[in-house]
């Protein structure tokens, strides 16, 4: 990879550190008792009826039959609202939503079910952090550390919060930190930018472009316990083991549609130690607040942040998605993605003029989490994506919702490949052969 330009957000990281929960031995294959290509293909109708190769699971995952059937069943049988009625249709749904909440808490390593809030998505969850915690807690001069190369949904809410607070005379500072050449958050830079006014550090757990894992474990014991940690787990949830307790997260967000579930549902994890520091996010019906003579008074979590009618079919579908993921074993899913990533990197190295963006391709050890981005000299990423699409390979191209792009970071314009349990080594081999042919023709 070329050396970073002066002023670049990249810094060199001499050592790769990964949480034990994310180490997968090179010899670890997917569980053969549950993972079979034909069986998996049949489980995902959109793949079963198509000859195209779907390599865009970082944008959204394919939906398995149990998820599809759960959504259909809700709308076609005993449709009701949860938590609103005393009749069986409603009370049964209330119990089912509570069960999905408990299962989601266990899946992501939360200690208590009331730490799991259902939102309209990961973007809504991050905005809930900004508006329910930030509005209530931040004072003039307080600071938030963030990565401008993270997804826009993990960047824009803090800028919006700053603008809102400024209208009321409170001016907070947003302090950007750098990314290493391996695609991880630069913890050395973070430590250098911490100040007595730092209140929150925000980072991607698995980066949506670079495919690198950041745990912030290097910060443990070296920062004031009052500094809160917020992890965007949109790409890691459902792709590799995530334990919010091990991460030391105060907030963590997940997107159901990237966990084999349906769009319109997100998970916001809020550690119990900060529950009493939150304002209602969506005050209204069933929002965990009550109106008193002195104004609105919050009651208990998670209702405090769940105003309005739940996306009931989406939440139930999340439960079915967790069933599917647990039937595979999340460790097996991660091991499978790792094997595909290593095969992909190995195959793409032969393509002339191909340059990998930061990530697993530059790691000193064999690692991978299902996301690899690259570009080819002499042809735009958009043109590569168009040709690949015409040949039946579905990938993401462009700037990948990264807000720093267009501000001196247009080198993020790339082709992104992202995998999941339904992809095969044969698909990767055919893809890399196709990319090599394209590269040979333009160089």
Pairing state of beta strands 198-204 and 143-146?
A: parallel
Q: Which of 230, 270, 365, 401 is catalytic?
A: 401
For residues 5 and 221, give the distance between their C-alpha atoms in angstroms, rounded to a whole number: 33
For residues 17 and 333, give the distance between their C-alpha atoms in angstroms, rounded to a whole number: 21
Q: Under a CB-based contact definition with an 8 Å cutoff, are residues 325 and 413 in contact? A: no
Q: Which of 144, 155, 147 is nearest to 183 (CA)?
A: 147
Contacts of residue 244, Cβ cutoff 8 Å, sequence gap at least 6: 108, 109, 110, 231, 233, 252, 269, 271
* Six token digits for residue 164: 């809102």
Phi, psi values for residue 417, rounded to 5°: -110, 130
Q: Under a CB-based contact definition with an 8 Å cutoff, are residues 61 and 328 in contact? A: no
What is the number of alpha carbons within 13 Å of residue 372 lying toward its C-beta? 31
For residues 64 and 86, give the distance between their C-alpha atoms in angstroms, rounded to a whole number: 33
**How remote is the C-alpha of 268 from its chain's centroid?**
12
pLDDT (tens digit, 0 to 9) for every residue of the chain, 443 residues total?
Answer: 333 333 344 443 333 333 333 332 333 333 433 345 778 888 999 998 888 999 999 999 999 999 999 999 999 999 998 988 889 999 999 999 999 999 999 999 999 999 999 999 999 999 999 999 999 999 999 999 999 999 999 999 999 999 999 999 999 999 999 999 999 999 999 999 999 999 999 999 999 999 999 999 999 999 999 999 999 999 999 999 999 999 999 999 999 999 999 999 999 999 999 999 999 878 777 656 677 777 777 678 999 999 888 999 999 999 999 999 999 999 999 999 999 999 999 999 999 999 999 999 999 999 999 999 999 999 999 999 999 999 999 999 977 677 764 455 557 889 999 999 999 999 999 999 999 999 999 98
* Six token digits for residue 134: 């930030």
* Six token digits for residue 353: 């003029």
In order, the DSSP letters of 343-377 are HHHHHHTTSTTEEEPSSGGG-SS----SEEEEEET
Confidence at residue 401, expressed as pLDDT on a 0 to 100 scale: 73
> Residue 124 belongs to what H/E stretch?
helix 122-128
* Six token digits for residue 125: 């969850």
* Six token digits for residue 318: 């999340």
For residues 91 and 97, give the distance between their C-alpha atoms in angstroms, rounded to a whole number: 10
For residues 37 and 43, give the distance between their C-alpha atoms in angstroms, rounded to a whole number: 10
401 is catalytic: yes
For residues 103 and 82, give the distance between their C-alpha atoms in angstroms, rounded to a whole number: 18
Confidence at residue 22, expressed as pLDDT on a 0 to 100 scale: 34
Domains of the chain, earliest start first:
38-60+330-442 (3.90.1150.10), 66-325 (3.40.640.10)
């Amino acid at each position: 990879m070329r050396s970073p330009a002066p002023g670049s957000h990249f810094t060199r990281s001499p050592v790769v550190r990964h949480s034990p929960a994310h180490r997968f031995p090179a010899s670890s294959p997917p569980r053969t008792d549950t993972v079979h290509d034909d069986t998996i293909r049949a489980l995902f109708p959109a793949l079963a009826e198509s000859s195209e190769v779907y390599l865009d699971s970082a944008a959204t995952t394919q939906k398995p039959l149990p998820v599809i059937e759960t959504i259909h069943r809700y709308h076609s049988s005993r449709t009701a609202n949860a938590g609103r009625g005393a009749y069986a249709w409603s009370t049964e749904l209330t119990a089912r939503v509570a069960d999905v909440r408990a299962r989601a808490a266990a899946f992501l390593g939360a200690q208590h079910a009331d730490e799991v809030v259902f939102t309209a998505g990961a973007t809504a969850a991050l905005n809930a952090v900004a508006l329910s915690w930030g509005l209530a807690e931040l004072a003039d001069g307080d600071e938030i550390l963030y990565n401008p190369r993270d997804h826009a949904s993990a960047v824009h809410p803090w800028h919006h919060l700053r603008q809102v607070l400024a209208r009321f005379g409170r001016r907070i500072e947003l302090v950007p930190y750098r990314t290493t050449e391996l695609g991880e958050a630069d913890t050395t830079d973070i430590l250098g930018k911490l100040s007595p006014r730092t209140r929150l550090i925000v980072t991607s757990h698995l980066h949506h472009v670079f495919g690198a894992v950041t745990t912030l474990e290097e910060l443990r014991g070296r920062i004031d316990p009052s500094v809160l940690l917020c992890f965007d787990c949109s790409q890691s949830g459902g792709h590799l083991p995530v334990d919010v307790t091990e991460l030391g997260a105060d907030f963590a967000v997940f997107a159901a549609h990237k966990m084999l579930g349906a769009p319109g549902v997100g998970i916001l994890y809020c550690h119990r130690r900060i529950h009493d520091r939150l304002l209602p996010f969506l005050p209204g019906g069933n929002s965990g607040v009550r109106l008193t003579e002195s104004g609105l008074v919050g009651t208990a979590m998670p209702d405090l942040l769940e105003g309005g009618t739940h996306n009931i079919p989406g939440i139930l579908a999340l439960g079915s998605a967790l069933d599917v993921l647990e039937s595979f074993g999340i460790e097996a899913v991660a091991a499978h993605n790792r094997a595909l990533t290593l095969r992909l990197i190995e195959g793409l190295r032969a393509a002339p003029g191909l340059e990998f963006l930061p990530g697993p391709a530059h790691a000193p050890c064999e690692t991978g989490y299902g996301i690899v981005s690259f570009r080819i000299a002499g042809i735009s990423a958009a043109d590569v994506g168009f040709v690949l699409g015409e040949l039946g390979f579905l990938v993401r191209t462009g700037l990948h919702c990264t807000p720093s792009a267009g501000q001196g970071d247009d080198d993020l314009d790339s082709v992104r490949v992202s995998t999941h349990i339904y992809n095969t080594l044969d698909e990767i081999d055919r893809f890399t052969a196709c990319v090599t042919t394209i590269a040979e023709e333009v160089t």
